[in-house]
Amino acid sequence: MTPLAGYLLVAALLFAIGLAGALTRRNAILVLIGIELMLNAANLNLIAFWRYGPHPEALTGMMFAIFSIAVAAAEAAVGLGLVISIHRHAQTADLDEMNRMKG
Amino acid sequence: MIEEAVFTPQLAASPIAGILWLVPALPIVASGVIALLKQPRRKAAASFSIGSLACSLVLALVAFAHVLAGWMHGQAVRETVNFTWLHAGGTNVDLGWVLDPLSAVMLVMVSFVGLLIFIYSIGYMEHDENFTRFFCFLSLFAGAMLGVVISNSLLLLFMCWELVGLTSYLLIGFWYQKPSASAAAKKAFLTTRVGDIFFLLGMVWLFSQTGTLLFYNGGAGSMEPGALAGLLAAPAGLGLTAAGAIGLLIFAGAAGKSGQLPLHVWLPDAMEGPTPVSALIHAATMVAAGVYLIARVYPLMQAGALTGGTTVALTVVTWVGAATALFAALIAVAQNDIKRILAYSTVSQLGYMMAGLGMGGVAVGMFHLITHAFFKALLFMGAGSVIHGCHEEQDVRRMGGLKGDMPLTFVPYAVGMLALSGFPLLFSGFWSKDGILEAAQHWDLGHGPFYMLVCGALLTAFYMTRQMSYVFFGNWRGQGHAHESPKVMTMPLAILAFFAIALGALGTPAWPWFRAFLDDRAAEFSFEGFHEPGLLALMATSSLVVFLGLGLGWWVYGNKSPQAEEPDALESAVPPVWAVLHNKFYVDELYGVTVIAFYSGWARVADWLDRWVWGGAVTLVAVLFRGGAHLSRLCDVYWVNGGFDKGCEELANGGGLLARVQSGRVQSYLRLLALAVVVLAAILIWSSRG
Amino acid sequence: MSFVFYILAAITLAGGLAAVLLKNMVHCALAVSIAFAGLAFLFLGLDAQFAGFAQILVYVGAVAILVVFAILLTRSSDTPKDGGVFSRTWLAGLVVAAAVFAVIGWAVLSSVGGLPHEAAVPTVTVLQIGQALMGPYVLPLEIVALLLTVATIGAVIVAIHEKEDAK
């Protein structure tokens, strides 16, 4: 078991936990939290591959992770803004009750 | 006797000619306003209609004064206002109105007599619930008649003419609840329509020949020498020129309206209308329209005549007129309905007018028209007053002795009766009838009409005496008690009685003002007029005839007061003659077995054809189409509908299935996404392992 | 595989699990910040100091605070009366998540033989990162800057819009 594999397994587990949270919680904010966890798991993968990759001096994975963090921050801001807006509209953050887009 | 009237054409219309259209427009507008009024607004209706006609009368008097002033200054007035109504390709249809002595005189007469009749109607129709409707129709009628009078276009005249026909239908059938009234209205409408068809044909022919229907248009009108020369040059077959043929066709229209033989049958029946209507239609206006029409197109009727000669059209007019005069006078002798006697008398007098037009020219016929309008309106309104006083009784045998009960009606009625009979010197009827007789005496084509007219005059005096003695002398034979009519009815009678006497002064041989006015000559007062050869003898003859008639009438009927059930004095003397006369020469019956039987036979044939041949064909087609429709319905229901419904159902099911996936829940989408990732990743890993 | 790695990994995963499982939303937010912090330390352990501090600044500092604000604003702190905190389809979600983990784990384990064991510790200074950002990565940097601006404005508009309408 190499260190990289350990990091990858941790990342995979974290991703699965995040996905499980996103899929099972009723509260929209928790779903966003789950998604953040999934993003962070991906970041962990990027950093790990950079660290143990063949060309760590190229900074590619590092940069990718940094940009990913920036994008995730933006996503969190917009996502939470949407949650607040929806809450104001429907007086709930419960995803089970949000089915107005039902076909 | 026929003299050319020389008019100096006047191009610029004076202000009064410019607004002459208001004369007919005012009553027509009033009629429209009254039509919108509610039934109980009696006062408003009567005042609108009388007010508008009074305004028309004022305008007519102004117009008359204008024409009179021009005539005084030796300048004939004929002002026209023309405008183009329709452009159709290169053809223009023009309408317009004209102010000349003829139309001015008629305007004054129609609006004045009309106004008196309107006022009289207030009293006569007082208890009728359809008072407003009556005044609406009356106004429309008066407007239409005034329109006929001012028309400078045969087309406009025809439109107003038809409007007159329509309103006469409405007025005669005013009491449409009575079957006889509605039948009489239909009869009047249809009979005049027979004449109108010929009129229309003549009009179309005239238009195709001359290209215009304007009478006077500064030399380009159809009644002016240029167009008449063209009409004379065009042959029409049977030895007639186009002018003669068109003249005869137009005369047929006039005969229908003016109750000439053989289209007189509608006029006596039209007495079913309210009495003011009878006075308006059968004395002053509608029946006069035919005579006026002939006077209006007189240049056409006269076209081609040598000086002092006559034309085919005028000869026909003369003979028809004279025959009508005698024929209707004969029938009038044996009638018992007070209004029917007057109706036949009207037919007879219209015959006089036509004969006067045919033999003596416009002025002779028109003078009798004007005087007759006054005294006949007087007689009709007097008869209305009598009927009103005798509780709607119309049979002269159930009246009697009314001269004591109704003095205010009796005196004017007597004046009217004497004027109609042609009582010498004092009354207008004498002078106007004398003019016609004089013209007849000098007629070139024989003395037949003269003798017929003299006989007619004798009979007129006779039947009027008979009526007078039945109604006003002897003993009261009716039910209940007769009463005098209200002032609003007797005052117009008095006014008309005055004119029935006074108008004669305008047409005596000593001062032939009326003829001079119409013919544009100066009128001078002198007794020279009496020195014309034969005139005094003629006057003596006609006076003698009138006295003979009056005397005979008094001798046979005077103060006898027979009961209604008793046979008439004449009936017991000469029963077959009485029967023929009483049944109006069986003209209605003759029409019944000829024209009407012919039409009803054809109608039956057409009905049979309609029912069985065309109807059968239509039914067959209908059956075929219904069969086809059934077939297509079956197809529709079981095939098209079924298939379509099935397809729709499937679509709906599929849609429902897909819609279930679109749950609107974020998490189910995400779940599917993750599943897809799992599957894709598994495939990727599987494939990368080789 | 150092002892530190196991500790950090355990803290991170525990924080993640707690964030997903806890009933109280505020507790969830705290748990997720712990997970974020754990991850930051994992980054440090991977010699990515810049990314680690960025992680602390952005996630623990900004996103966690945002989450807390969102929780307070939507009054989600009080646990719902009806049902639990889990949706009706939680079992399906769990199965799917497990399947994803199985696939990824399977992929990692199946390729574990080909993974490099050790690598030289790269020395990356902030200067280098700054030069890289201003050099080859300047275009992505500008795009991210634009994205952040747009996201900030967009978030404000999304959150503020309805309120104005309501008035």
Per-residue pLDDT tens over the stretch B343-355: 889 889 999 999 9
pLDDT at C141 over 50: yes
H-run or E-run covering C119: none
Which residue of B675, B681, B685 is in closest CB contact with C96?
A: B675
pTM over 0.90: no
Judge whether residue B101 has pLDDT over 90: no
Q: B212-226, B311-325, B620-634, C100-114 — which is least confidently predicted?
A: B212-226
Is the pLDDT at B213 greater than 90, yes or no? no
Q: Check pLDDT > 80 for residue B166.
A: yes
* Mean local confidence (pLDDT), A16-35: 89
Which of the residue ranges B450-464, B569-583, C31-45 would you say has the lowest mean pLDDT?
Answer: B569-583
What does residue B197 show for φ and ψ, rounded to 5 degrees?
-60, -45
Say whether B663 and A102 touch across the interface (CB within 8 A): yes
Does A12 contact C101 at a Cβ distance shorter than 8 Å?
A: yes
pLDDT (mean) for B610-639? 90
Mean pLDDT score, B303-317: 74
Predicted confidence at residue B544, as pLDDT, reads 87
Question: pLDDT higher for A80 or B6?
Answer: A80
**pLDDT tier, B12 (very low <50, low <70, confident <90, very high otherwise):** low
A92, B244, B342, B397 from B403: Cα distances, Å: 108, 51, 19, 15
What pLDDT, on a 0 to 100 scale, did the predictor assign at position B552? Answer: 85
Residue B334 near residue B581 (C-beta atoms within 8 A): yes
Residue of A15, A24, A99, A100 to mutate, interface with B, max B Cβ within 10 Å: A99
Kindly tell me if the per-residue pLDDT of C146 is higher than 90.
yes
Give residue B211's region: left, alpha or beta (phi > 0; psi -120 to 50). left
- Beta carbons within 8 Å of B154's beta carbon, 6+ residues apart: B203, B206, B213, B214, B215, B222, B297
**Average pLDDT for residues B643-660, to the nearest whole number?**
87
Cβ neighbors of C48 (< 8 A, separation 6 or more) are A47, A50, A51, A62, A65, C124
C152 and A77 in contact by Cβ < 8 A?
Answer: yes
CB proximity under 8 Å: A 81-100 to C: 81-85, 87-89, 93-96
Q: What is the pLDDT of residues B14-48, one digit of tens each?
A: 788 888 888 899 999 999 998 888 878 888 888 88
Q: Is the pLDDT of residue B624 over 90?
A: yes
B141/C12 Cα distance (integer angstroms): 110
Q: Which residues of C touch A6 (CB under 8 A)?
A: 1, 5, 9
Mark yes or no for CB contact B667/C87 under 8 Å: yes
Walk me through the domains of chain A, giving residue ranges and CATH numbers: 3-97 (1.10.287.3510)
pLDDT at residue B10 is higher than 60 = no
From the list C87, C89, C99, the residue facing B678 with the nearest CB is: C99
Question: In the predicted model, is pLDDT for residue A43 greater than 90?
Answer: yes
On average, the pLDDT of chain C sits at: 84
Q: Which residues in chain C are closer than 8 Å to A7, comparing Cβ atoms?
A: 5, 42, 46
Q: Alpha helices, DSSP H only, in B520-663?
A: 535-557, 569-573, 575-582, 587-591, 597-608, 615-634, 641-661
Whether the complex's predicted ipTM surpasses the cut of 0.85: yes
The confidence band for C81, taking pLDDT boundaries of 50, 70 and 90, is low
**Quick one: average pLDDT of B76-90?**
81
pLDDT at B3: 40
When mean pLDDT is compared across A30-44, B149-163, B575-589, C91-105, the lowest value belongs to: B575-589
Q: Do B674 and C92 touch (CB under 8 A)?
A: no
What percent of chain B shows pLDDT beyond 90?
10
How many Cβ atoms sit within 10 Å of the Cβ of residue B610?
Answer: 13
C120 touches chain A (CB under 8 A): yes
Helix (H, G, I), strand (E, B) or coil at C25: helix
Q: How far is A98 from chain C (nearest CA, A)?
A: 12
Residue A101 with chain B: CB contacts under 8 Å? 662, 664
- Residue (of B400, B689, C8) closest to A11 by Cα position: C8
Q: Read off the amino acid at residue B547.
A: F
Neighbours of A, requiring at least 3 CB pairs below 8 Å, are B, C
pLDDT tens for each residue of B400-439? 778 778 888 888 888 888 888 888 877 888 888 888 888 8
Give pLDDT, residue C167.
Answer: 44
In angstroms, what CA-CA distances link B617 with B603, B612, B624?
A: 19, 8, 11
**Chains within contact range of chain C (3+ C-beta pairs < 8 Å):** A, B
Judged by DSSP in three states, B480 sits in: coil
List of residues 6+ apart from B186 with CB closer than 8 A: B169, B173
B671 Cβ under 8 Å from any chain A Cβ: yes
| Total residues found in chain C within this entry | 167
Distance from CA of B680 to the nearest CA of A (A): 16
Asked if C101 lies within 8 A of A14 by C-beta distance, the reply is no
- Residue B351 near residue B456 (C-beta atoms within 8 A): yes
B8: pLDDT strictly greater than 70: no
Mean pLDDT of B113-139: 87
**Contact assessment for residue A36 and residue A74, using Cβ atoms and an 8 Å cutoff:** no
Nearest by CB to C47, which of A51, A66, A70? A51
B671, B677, B681 member nearest C92 (Cβ): B671
Tokens of C29: 């937010």
User: Mean per-residue pLDDT for B470-495?
Assistant: 81
Q: Which residue has the higher pLDDT, B6 or B619?
A: B619
Size of interface A-C (CB pairs under 8 A): 259
